[in-house]
Chains A and B, each alone.
Chain A
């Protein structure tokens, strides 16, 4: 399902996130623990980055719309009806990692849509090759 999981892994591989302008290397691929997340700071944006059990990468906004706290990187990931999910550690709402949508509730307490920004992410073929090239998506089913 995910291209990154099938590519040969090397210790030097970087994880990159695209902020709309360019790819940013944020950490070594092997530093990520499968099934867990880390928080990434890009400018003033906080991003929750995950590697799943199959090795695929997912990146969504770190702010939990239900509590307002930047904690989603500390949530558990899993699946619901086959879809990859992230569970908020605060009040346990479930988000679809593919499109950031909350599958439990449509709106946050403040009335805004309960959806997370999805950030394109990839495992860069080689270390240190942050590029200016337009990103090519590698996150599962996201168009």
Chain B
């Protein structure tokens, strides 16, 4: 068989030899006469019928190709809006707007001179005249026609199927109809327990309806998963309150007198009282236009196309769900549709030719918070296929690998833990005998499953969205000179589709960079090849209590300023105890070591905690007196507290003795830990406040004070939507609503400002604190060294949705553990400064000179400025005679 893919690209308006032998029908590939009605515009006219996801991808591919300049492009679309993301349609219910779902950037059509007719579907196709006529009567000539009409939802022909209250689930209009109908409904049923049906059921459940799923097959998601996986999925879904009826057909929809749905009669004769029905029993290709004009269609529907996506008429292409691919399949997934769009665009506008011969239908998704993945021969239909199975119903994990008789990985089903999908899918696709025992591969993450993609062969497709192989990714590093994952993504497009391969991609790129001698340091520093998160797990799991043991067992050398403070933070967080005790003292950065902040001249600043920024007049007076008596410079900080500058090491214990006596405690301004919880004055005083923001800020600050984390943590609480506390610029921010609190995470100010993302809405106090507890602990567990929550949130796979699933739906099953650790932190908290002062051994370290205690550093000098002190500069004239006396000195105070 000659593969057209290898043939040079021929302009599609020239006759093309039929090169595929797949079709037994007589090919209709005869040359066409010249166009009878050439448009005044002499550019070749490409008409796209349908503007869905695949249609849009086709346009994007087309305009980037060499011959695009010679094309006039017109789009005829049925829906009233340009292409949008149907894969994430359900997110419309949770507030994603139609605009946000749009895949067609504003100005896209204008920029590329594309004429877009919305809400005017094509009604007829005249191949002889080479014209299409729309429903509104518009007739357009074409040189090349591309059918991307998609599919329609299949509704079983049961009595009552058109009753008021019956819906399908395909377009934004469908969702609008469902939403407005839920006002009349309290019980909903979804007919069809496949992927889309479960999405619809999840939406109904979220809308507050009692929800049923009626599935004809004996299990849910019958195409993707097997009985074992289906059973686990069913249990998890039922746990969420959805009733599942498998092995159950729909015989009729019963109606009330007013014509509205009242019940469904199932195949066993039983009646299910419902007032809303969604049919989601599969889709059928929309091939009507092709049928009517005599283009070949498959027995079960779908416009027959060849490897270049050409139909029986070489001027007519078909792509996406309306097409029957050369492997006699109609693909209902977006990735194959995209591949077809790319193929057709190249055939039309002169790109490197590609052939579409079929696609991988592997799937990875999350339904009701449950991870589900299926790849390759998931059902073991290959002759002689054998299973390797891991099932733990306590943890809610089911994993099956299908192994060929010759030891190759053929496919698999993963439910509850899809961590290694990015490795397993390409392995199955590569079709080489496994180099790792399948009983190891089947284990879930954390139980000894290998993670690296090193054993993948070069032709394994790592990114299936863009069909990028491991070899291509390696070449991006070795030949194209990419030096980072981001560059490889840009250069090869790998990892820019669904994102499920990003982790695998990262490992391949880093391995390749390392192999080419480029220094990549996935580890912390030269002493540890582990990341901070990995070290955290090692310390946690092995119960390691000292740096010495950790570096001896897991590292090399003596450590440095990167690993020592990081390990100190991990030990403090996991082990507790005072940070200046034992070996821990030697690990602390100078700030932590003196529990104060080093300033440019070697002096320190002191910040007592002022929870929520609330301080009594007496507190202010004490701080003022201490600052005055020790000659310190004072400044109000951005975090609503007071910073006192210019203290020598020897002064620190005396300053803190007075602060502690007055009831102050360490503000941890020196630590990688919680700084402040800023607040507005809230409802107690403010005319607009709706909640007690100060009260909550104080509570949060006292709860999380002293919590050691990968980087500093800042927070704020606003008492109303005016947001005076700027909570959306914080690592975790809380904004009052009339019915509770909205929680935002991942905000940041500083060098790279980032607005925080809304994690949850209208939480009551307990739910709010529980959610923050888990968020913080999950961050502490998984973040890299000095990685603020903002960059952490952008880095971790799955992003905000993942974090939400972990902390709110316990998708990883670790919430109990996170809760326990936070409880231990809260119970174990002690004020570091009070504890330091209570121990003479600790106090003894606050000495300027070991052989001359009490002698201050003679090099630290100050000069007056604006009524206070500041460090003297080296060229300051009055510096030479010695230190300016500042302690207890009366300085000139400006009176103007």
Contacts and interface: CB of A to CB of B under 8 A. Distances in A.
Contact of A79 (B560, B585, B593, B848): B560
A47 to B, nearest CB: 9
Contacts of A84: 558
B853 to A, nearest CB: 10
A115 interface: no
A79 B586 contact: no
Contacts, number: 107
B555 to A, nearest CB: 11
A21 to B, nearest CB: 16
B560 A70 contact: no
B33 to A, nearest CB: 77
Contact of A89 (B589, B850, B857, B860): B589
B593 to A, nearest CB: 7
Given A39-B848, A46-B859, A78 B561 contact: yes
A85 B30 CA distance: 80
Interface residues of B, number: 36
A57 interface: no
A43 to B, nearest CB: 11
Interface in A73-121: 74-82, 84-85, 87, 89-90, 92, 94
Nearest to B873: A68
Contact of B594 (A74, A76, A82): A74
A27 B558 contact: no
A44 B558 CA distance: 32
B267 interface: no
Interface centre among B565, B598, B855 (most CB of A within 10 A): B598
Contacts of B558: 52-53, 77-79, 84-85
B583 interface: yes
B687 to A, nearest CB: 48
Interface residues on A, range: 35 or more
A127 interface: no
Contacts of A60: none
B527 interface: yes
B600 A69 contact: yes
Contacts of B859: 46, 63, 69-70
Interface string B575-597: 00000000101110110011000
B586 A74 contact: no
A124 interface: no
B560 A41 contact: no
A40 B600 contact: no
Nearest to B557: A79
Given A78-B527, A78-B557, A87-B560, A35 B858 contact: no
A33 B546 CA distance: 15
Nearest to B602: A69
Contacts of A39: 848-850, 857
20 contacts: A26-B850, A35-B587, A36-B585, A38-B847, A39-B857, A42-B851, A53-B548, A63-B859, A69-B601, A70-B602, A76-B587, A76-B590, A78-B527, A78-B558, A79-B558, A81-B526, A85-B560, A87-B561, A89-B590, A94-B560
Given A39-B850, A70-B602, 18 more contacts: A24-B851, A33-B585, A34-B586, A35-B585, A44-B858, A49-B850, A68-B874, A70-B860, A74-B594, A74-B598, A77-B558, A78-B558, A79-B560, A84-B558, A85-B560, A87-B560, A87-B561, A92-B561
